[in-house]
Structures are given as C-alpha cells and as structure tokens.
Amino acid sequence: TSKENFKLNLLKNWLFYFCWSKSKY
C-alpha cells in the first residue's frame, strides 16, 4: 500500500539523515 511505502521512505530518509549528520562530525 502507499501508506507502507510512505513509512518505508520516511525510514530511509531518517537513516540517511542520521548517517549524514554522523559523518559531519
């Protein structure tokens, strides 16, 4: 479903942001 896809994309974005902020410091 699209709701599940939305959650999955949100999780991917969160993980990407998390890794990005970690590598910044």
> How many angstroms separate the CA atoms of 6 and 11, rounded?
9
> How many angstroms separate the CA atoms of 5 and 17, rounded?
18
Residue 7: the pLDDT is 96
pLDDT in tens, 1-25: 899 999 999 999 999 999 999 887 6
Residue 1: the pLDDT is 84
Residue 24: the pLDDT is 76
Residue 18: the pLDDT is 94
